[in-house]
Chains A and B, each alone.
Chain A
Amino acid sequence: MGGFLEYLALNWDHVVELAIGHAIVVAISLAIDVVIGVSLGVLVFRRERVAGVALAITSTFLTIPSFALFGIFIPIFGLGYPPTVVALVMYGLLPILRNTVAGVRSVDPAVAESAQGMGMSATQRLLRIELPLAWPVIIAGVRVSTMLLMGIAAIAAIVGGPGLGEDIFSGLARVGSVTALDLVLGGILGIVALALIFDAFFNVLGKLTTSRGIRD
């Protein structure tokens, strides 16, 4: 273990640089996922069948092996950020979409009815009542997506994507050599650390942006 710490000390800047790349690509993909997932959820939640189709499609995305998906995207999107972000967006959609639909549907019908009875338009109801009430559930979905994307983003290294996957793959390529284990271990621990930081961030964000009236 002493060897690993020594490795970290020597390669700290390099690991941090990869970690930053990893965090950025995950953050970008998550942001796009929130926009698409929440809007899609809002559009479909009232229509049982359409919602079913949307959820089925996004579930299917998750079943595609990531290694293969990244590979297919090379001829379409080339290397680097574009294929990475597209693939990550696809993988992170389901939890956010599903939680948006579930969250908005879980709004007490009496609350929705009284809002309508007071003359709120459909848009006002959505923005002032339904989304704020569904927000804690949506944030929970974002947290699940974060965990998912952190791991999958490592695979992006095969399409030249940014992130800690680079060290993991180069470590795996030279198994048996002295630094192989250190490289892989550095990548994994970096990803775990990033995941914890992101999760803590969303936890705090969720608390700050949820009304005191619906916090436990």
Chain B
Amino acid sequence: MIRLENLSKVFPGQDEPAVDDLSMDIYEGEIVVLVGPSGCGKTTTMKMINRLIEPSSGRIFLQGEDVTRVNSDNLRRRIGYVIQQIGLFPHMTIADNIATVPKMLGWDKERTSGRIDELLETVGIDRSYRDRYPKELSGGQRQRIGVARAMAADPPVLLMDEPFGAIDPITRDRLQDEFLRLQREIKKTIVFVTHDIDEAVKMGDRIAILKQQSKIAQYDTPENILTDPADDFVRNFIGTGASIKRLSLSRISEIETTDWPVARLSDSHDEVREKMRSSGRDHVLVLDEQEKPGRWVGKDEVKYDTPLEESGRPAVAVVEATASLYKTLDTMITSYKGSAIVVDEEGRYKGVVDFDTVLEATSAMHSSEREETAQDLQTEGGGR
């Protein structure tokens, strides 16, 4: 979709190139994150794609077409652009801001207006905001309008330069989630620049970790980068806690849950005791009528004078099957028995995970990826 070929940039008056002989391919529909320390040339690289910065040498291909020399204004109208400060036009209404590119492309009023409504809905902003001005919006809302404006003429490619950089952490997290959900529908090809490795891991289908002069240290999926950093530079850049970050990429639904004895509120005390005995566990999980986890009841807590719904302890460490292993682990640590109960979207019981399960799953992850890499190396070696 986007191909950069031997791209270099030397700024006038500087001896060292800011970007040195960079080649990379970006496939259709993927989010590629350019990440690296400040001054590594990641923003320069991105701005060469829409030629806000003209490359000194090398070529840029967009959808197979060499765009290195085409009219840059026309090129930019085909590429959405979102920057950290967003840069909404303060003297124009939200509707006029969004309509910027459609107007330049000569869309008629009706089509533009329809598109504005559609986009406002997509980014979750009420239509009543059409005639408001940017200063009347919160930071998060402005950011959404910035995205809507960039998508106005439905460009196949979006360039985003630290789009969530200037937003408070809580809103940022929400906007990132929203954007990922949106991307699943719109499937744009996105080049995303950030200096934050956690954001890169979260947002990227693939991550390019860049050294000085935009030299690629590693260009791979977040999973592979975290489990198998290419060199010390990447390892240092990821920093401590790579394994923990890796956990945020896997969901519980991907691992086996432990078999655990469950009981119903309607079960008799004898039945409960029998279940414990036959499973060899000293606790059962009691479910309520809707299959929702109710209480943990221990061996010594099954007494004839207490009904099941009052025995033991309430089951609080509950996570949805879509939660990441990171979140699950966090829940487990604070739970009573060091295990978390997995439920579906409706809150119905699906299984239990404990520390051992997660540990097994992570070591399996590491060894399988190591094997894949080993195989890759072998096939590469054999091909030569």
CB distance from B20 to the nearest CB of A (A): 24
Given contacts A113-B83, A114-B83, A213-B135, contact A119 B76 (CB under 8 A): yes
Tally chain A residues at the interface, Cβ within 8 Å: 22
B124 interfacial contact with A, CB 8 Å? no
Contact (Cβ within 8 A) B73 A111: no
Contacts of B81 in A (CB 8 A): 114, 117-118
Contact (Cβ within 8 A) A113 B93: no
Contacts of A114 in B (CB 8 A): 81, 83, 86-89, 146
Contact (Cβ within 8 A) B87 A108: yes
A60 interfacial contact with B, CB 8 Å? no
Per-residue CB proximity of A119-136 to B under 8 Å, as 1/0?
111001000010011000
Contacts of B50 in A (CB 8 A): 117
Contact (Cβ within 8 A) A120 B104: yes
Contact (Cβ within 8 A) B91 A115: no
Interface of A is mostly: helix
Contact (Cβ within 8 A) B89 A117: no
Per-residue CB proximity of B50-72 to A under 8 Å, as 1/0?
10100000000000000000001
Contact (Cβ within 8 A) A111 B89: yes
Per-residue CB proximity of A90-117 to B under 8 Å, as 1/0?
0000000000000000001011111111
CB distance from A156 to the nearest CB of B (A): 38
CB distance from B162 to the nearest CB of A (A): 12
Given contacts A211-B92, A213-B93, A213-B134, contact A120 B87 (CB under 8 A): no
Contact (Cβ within 8 A) A116 B83: no
Contacts of B104 in A (CB 8 A): 118-120, 124
A47 interfacial contact with B, CB 8 Å? no
CA distance A203 to B100 in the complex (A): 30
CA distance A212 to B93 in the complex (A): 9
CA distance A114 to B83 in the complex (A): 7
Contacts of B101 in A (CB 8 A): 118-119
Q: Which of A113, A118, A132, A210 is in CB contact (< 8 Å) with B77?
A: A118
Give the number of residue pairs across the A-B interface with Cβ within 8 Å: 76
* Chain B residue nearest to A112 in the complex (CB): B87
* Chain A residue nearest to B105 in the complex (CB): A119
Q: Which of A115, A210, A212 is in CB contact (< 8 Å) with B89?
A: A115
Contacts of A108 in B (CB 8 A): 85, 87, 90
A214 interfacial contact with B, CB 8 Å? yes
CA distance A113 to B83 in the complex (A): 9
B10 interfacial contact with A, CB 8 Å? no
* Chain B residue nearest to A212 in the complex (CB): B133
Given contacts A108-B85, A117-B81, A118-B81, contact A213 B90 (CB under 8 A): yes
* Chain A residue nearest to B133 in the complex (CB): A213
B74 interfacial contact with A, CB 8 Å? yes
CA distance A71 to B64 in the complex (A): 70
B203 interfacial contact with A, CB 8 Å? no
Contact (Cβ within 8 A) B87 A119: no
Given contacts A110-B86, A117-B50, A118-B81, contact A132 B73 (CB under 8 A): no
Contacts of A111 in B (CB 8 A): 87-90
Contacts of B134 in A (CB 8 A): 213
B26 interfacial contact with A, CB 8 Å? no
B318 interfacial contact with A, CB 8 Å? no
Per-residue CB proximity of A195-212 to B under 8 Å, as 1/0?
000000000000000111
Contacts of B72 in A (CB 8 A): 119
B75 interfacial contact with A, CB 8 Å? yes
* Chain A residue nearest to B75 in the complex (CB): A119
CA distance A129 to B89 in the complex (A): 7
Contact (Cβ within 8 A) B90 A133: yes
CB distance from B34 to the nearest CB of A (A): 16
CA distance A211 to B72 in the complex (A): 30
CB proximity to B under 8 Å, residues A39-62: none
CB proximity to A under 8 Å, residues B256-283: none
CA distance A117 to B92 in the complex (A): 17
* Chain B residue nearest to A117 in the complex (CB): B81
Contacts of A213 in B (CB 8 A): 90-93, 133-135
CA distance A94 to B89 in the complex (A): 28
Contacts of A132 in B (CB 8 A): 91
CB distance from B104 to the nearest CB of A (A): 6
CB distance from B93 to the nearest CB of A (A): 7
CB distance from B167 to the nearest CB of A (A): 14
CB proximity to A under 8 Å, residues B95-123: 100-101, 104
CB proximity to A under 8 Å, residues B219-252: none
Given contacts A117-B76, A120-B73, A120-B104, contact A211 B85 (CB under 8 A): no
CA distance A120 to B89 in the complex (A): 13
Contact (Cβ within 8 A) B52 A113: yes
* Chain A residue nearest to B159 in the complex (CB): A117
CA distance A114 to B150 in the complex (A): 10
Contacts of A210 in B (CB 8 A): 91
CB distance from B92 to the nearest CB of A (A): 7
Contact (Cβ within 8 A) A110 B85: yes
* Chain B residue nearest to A210 in the complex (CB): B91
Contact (Cβ within 8 A) A113 B90: no
* Chain B residue nearest to A121 in the complex (CB): B73
| A-B CB contact pairs (8 Å), 24 listed | A108-B85, A108-B87, A110-B84, A110-B87, A113-B83, A114-B86, A115-B100, A117-B83, A118-B77, A118-B81, A118-B100, A119-B72, A119-B73, A119-B77, A121-B73, A132-B91, A133-B91, A210-B91, A211-B90, A212-B133, A213-B133, A214-B90, A214-B133, A214-B135
The 7 A-B pairs with the shortest beta carbon distances in the complex, nearest first, are: A114-B87, A213-B133, A119-B76, A110-B85, A117-B81, A211-B91, A119-B77
